[in-house]
Structures are given as structure tokens and as C-alpha cells.
Structure 1
Amino acid sequence: MSYGGYLRLPDLLAQQRPQSEAPDELLFITIHQVYELWFKLLLHELEVARAAMCDGELWQARHVFKRVHAVERVLVEQVGVLETMTPQDFLEFRAHLAPASGFQSVQFRELEFLSGVKDARYLDRLRDADDTERARLRRRLEEPTLWDAYVTALSRRGLPVSDDDEIMAALLTVARDRRSHDDLWQLAEDLLTHDETTAQWRMRHVQMVERQIGTKSGTGGSTGAPYLRGRVRMHYFPLLWELRARL
């Protein structure tokens, strides 16, 4: 077994196929392929964290979230590499992308669904998704979210969680009795960091889009930056944010 064979480098390095002669198209392709690899890893790690929370293994979930946060910080910083491309550089090959768009990233939608933002309408909007991708999204719609797993962890501790009011009361108990529930508090902080760091990536992404194309429509037909900016303040775990006002 060689290094290149183990990593399947010939196959991997053959996947960057520019559609134009523009020098920066290779940069654009590479960055977005790397994003998809990170998304794949995040989905794997978040599934592990979800299972650990459901099983009461909170230490394992916290360990996994440290890795998740590190990867998400890389996603934020990676935008800076893409911003080394000027708008003129992008315009040299942008027409070749249509109608492809980051909006069509199935793995990113899976991350949103797994994190708690489920929207079945995306199955209709992703017209270019194949049957396997649609099946993955349908599975994500049906399976428990990270929030469901955390609520399960609260329940295992004997805290009532039948509705949002009870869950908020449980969160307040956890926050006010760190001596008894510090592991649950720290895990809630891990969830909040996941939420916050993803929001930071959305903001950096929309700023990059505005820097590249201003208010032009996206290649996939979306409104571009205005659509992205409208999603910046979206929260995966709204009760954890509301908790701050209740303390």
C-alpha cells in the first residue's frame, strides 16, 4: 500500500476539470470540492455526537464537538482563499457554471437538516439531485436532529421535556445547578458554538458573494447575496439563545 494508493490520489486529482481557460477556475473548483469533503466529515462526526448524546455518553459527544468546531473554523477561514480571486477573474468563467449553484449542495442541506433546520421544500427545489441524494435528504427529514438528541440527554437526567416550556425549565435547571449538571451545560455550549460558527461561515460567505458579484442573481437562479443574507441570522437551537434572556 502506497501513500497515493491509500488516499486514491490519482482519482482525487483527476476530479478538477475546468470548463474554460480562465486561470482561477481551478481555484474555484478546488475550494468547493474541499468544502464538500469537509461537509462529508462533519456529517460523520455529527452523527457520532448525536448517537453519543442519545446513549448518555456526553463525554464522547463533547470530544467530537471539539473536532466539529475545529473543522468549522477552517470553513470560515477558507473563504479568505476564495477572496483572492477578483470579480474580473470570476467573470472569466462564471457563465460556464450556470445553472450550477452552491444552493444545490445536498450535503450542506443534510447538515442543516441534521442540525435541526428541516425544510421539505428543498426536495422540490433540488431538481438536479439524483435519486440517491433525494433519498438521503428524505432520511434526514425523518431522523432525529442534534437537538432531539440533546433533549434525550436532558430526559435521561430525569428532567421533564414534553414541550418547549418544560425544555426551557430544564435548561434553566441545568444553567442554575452547574454542580449537578455541568456536563449538560457544557454540551449545550458545544451545540451553541456549532450554531454560532455556522452563522459566521454564512456571513463570510455572503460577504464574499457580495464582493464577487454584488447584487447579481446567483447562477442557479436564486437572488444571490440577498437570499444568503436573509439566512445569516437563522438559528439551529433557538431555545439555547432564548435561555440567555431567561437567566
Structure 2
Amino acid sequence: MNYSRLTTYWDYIHLDTLLSLQNPKTHQPDEFIFIAYHQITELYFKLTLWELQQICSDHELNEDELISKLQRINNYLVQLVSSFDVMANGVDREQFLKFRLSILPASGFQSVQFRMIEIYCTDLYNLVDKDLRSRLEGDHITEELYEHIYWKQGATEVLSGEKTITLKHFEEKYSDKLLKLCLDLQNKNLNRIAEEFVPKAQKKDEITDLLRQLDASINIGWALAHFKSAVKHLQRKHNAIPSTGGTNWQQYLPPRFQKKVFFPSLWTQEELDSWGKAWVEQILEK
């Protein structure tokens, strides 16, 4: 038998290539952990997008298929939220403060896959900065809403109010791609599908619970896990160290400040009013 033609594990998953992608810029040992963790996170984002893309493109999706895909997404999100302990507890703070200077102005803020997940999940209006939503309520063109998307407000210089270089780099590389995605999904994102699908579904309660879990996992659980890590590594007794991207993370990360909700019709007004509040207070008390 010619064994050279058989598929091997290492060739199938490109193991050598995969293990060659962690290239620290400093000699701080924990920078390797920092890089590997973010790469793993991006792979989970890709898995999540893989399911969302199928949901939003399949016009004949049945209830069981939707439930299966939402369960998969939620499983990925559970892993993502719990994995942030790798960052919060697995990266030495002093090492981080040393190697962070070598990666400026790169930031996890620049994860285009996470932005794509948000756009796949909900109407663009629900991603508009909360302080501007009342002014932009009603019929507005996609381009106008995109200009006021919440993450742009989170990437402004704290003192000057100008766009950070992190945001400028991100917009230069990805704005056209993201705006096109917004236009493509304005009538077929997950929120629109849910609004049409849930009321007439036989398994309405199960689908609703899965959508609520997805919403809370990303917009409360993930945001707070990130916030917890930032507090540990960047918060000092009397002030805070700027993030690598220069974002005003104290205002950008906490869910109760963003009030970002993918499926607002699935929550009570009381739940929306207290969105993430108890979780943030619990973290700050620790």
C-alpha cells in the first residue's frame, strides 16, 4: 500500500501551520497565551458565523433545524464566555502591562468576525449607540445608522473625542464589507427571522428560550467576561490604564451602559431596564 497518499491528521487540519501562527513580539512568556487565546476565540467566532450564515440564507428552515443551529451557537457561546478565565486569571498582569506596549494600537475591538455576528443577529437600529436611538427611530437609510453604530462611540479618544487610530485602521479595512453585510441582512437577519418565525412556531417556548440565551450570552455574559478581564489588568485604585486600542472601555464594555439587545421583543421592559446591571455591580465589588 502506498501510505503517502493516505490522509494524515496533521495534514488534514494543517497542524504545522496552525502551531506556527503564535508569534510573540516580546520575550514575556504570557504573550504566547494572549495570542493563542485570541486565535482560539476567532475560531469559535467562525463556528458561530457558520451557523448564522446558514440560518439567514435558508428560506425553508424548519423548527427543528433552527433549534439545532441555535443550540450549536449557544454551545459555542458558553465555551467563549467561560474561556475568558484564561485571560482574566491565566495572563500575568505585570507581563501584560509590559508586552501590551508592543502591540499598540491593535485591539480585540478590531475583530471583524464579532461585528459580523452582531450584524447577522439583529437589525442595525438595535446596534446604534443607545443615546442616539430615539433620534434615529423610524425610517433611516442603512448608511446613516451604520455611522452611529455603538462600537464607534466606544473607540473614541477619552480626552479629545476623536476617533482612535484603532478605529481608523478598522474602518479602512472593513467598513465597506460591513456596510454591504448590513444592506444584505436588513430584512433577513436573525431578529427578523425570529419575529416572523416565533409567533407561529409549535415549539415557540423552546425557540424563544434559545434566542434569549444567545442574546444574554453575547450582550451580557461575553461583555462582562471581557469587562472583568479589563478591570483586573487595567484598573488601578484611583484611575484606569488605557486599553491597547485606546478605547474608553469603562463605558464601552458594561452591558448596562450599552443597552445592546438583539431581540428586544423577547424581553420584558423590566428586564431591558436592568440589562446587565446586577452583574456589573457584582464584578466591581470583588
TM-score (norm: length of structure 1): 0.80
- The C-alpha deviation readout for 1:42-80, integer Å capped at 9, x for no partner, is 01111223345x425111010111111111010011111
Cα distance in 1 for residues equivalent to 2:57 and 2:63: 10
Alignment of 1:18-37 (within 5 A): 18-37=24-43
**Is 2:131 the counterpart of 1:110?**
no
Cα distance in 2 for residues equivalent to 1:37 and 1:117: 24
Residue 182 to residue 232, structure 1, CA distance change in 2 (3 Å): farther
Q: Which residue of 2 aligns with 1:227?
A: 252
**Is 2:256 the counterpart of 1:237?**
no
Say which SS state the counterpart of residue 32 (structure 2) adopts: helix
Letter in 2 for 1:63: S
- Report if aligned partners of 1:101, 1:220 keep a CA contact under 8 Å in 2: yes
Say which SS state the counterpart of residue 91 (structure 2) adopts: coil
Q: Which residue of 1 aligns with 2:206?
A: 186
Alignment of 1:158-197 (within 5 A): 181-197=201-217
Pick which of 119-128 and 230-239 moved more. 119-128
Q: Give aligned-pair identity as a percent.
A: 26
**Is 2:229 the counterpart of 1:208?**
yes
Letter in 1 for 2:17: D
The alignment covers a number of residue pairs equal to: 220
**Is 2:152 the counterpart of 1:139?**
no
Alignment of 1:23-102 (within 5 A): 23-52=29-58, 54-83=59-88, 84-102=90-108
Cα distance in 1 for residues equivalent to 2:189 and 2:172: 22
Residue 224 to residue 117, structure 1, CA distance change in 2 (3 Å): farther
Q: Which runs of 5+ in 2 are unaligned?
A: 1-6, 129-145, 153-162, 272-286
Letter in 2 for 1:42: T
Cα distance in 2 for residues equivalent to 1:223 and 1:130: 18
Counterpart pick for 1:128 among 156, 160, 169: 169
Cα distance in 2 for residues equivalent to 1:243 and 1:182: 25
- The C-alpha deviation readout for 1:68-94, integer Å capped at 9, x for no partner, is 111101001111111222311211201
Cα distance in 2 for residues equivalent to 1:103 and 1:218: 10
C-alpha displacement of 1:138: 1.9
Q: Which residue of 1 aligns with 2:143?
A: none
Cα distance in 2 for residues equivalent to 1:63 and 1:132: 34
Say which SS state the counterpart of residue 201 (structure 1) adopts: helix
TM-score (norm: length of structure 2): 0.70
- The C-alpha deviation readout for 1:83-137, integer Å capped at 9, x for no partner, is 2223112112010111111111111111111111535136986432487743431
- How large is the RMSD of aligned CA atoms in angstroms? 2.4
- The C-alpha deviation readout for 1:177-226, integer Å capped at 9, x for no partner, is xxxx4413321221111001112111111011111111222211211233
- Report if aligned partners of 2:55, 2:61 keep a CA contact under 8 Å in 1: no
Say which SS state the counterpart of residue 72 (structure 2) adopts: helix
Pick which of 226-235 and 38-47 moved more. 226-235
C-alpha displacement of 1:233: 4.1
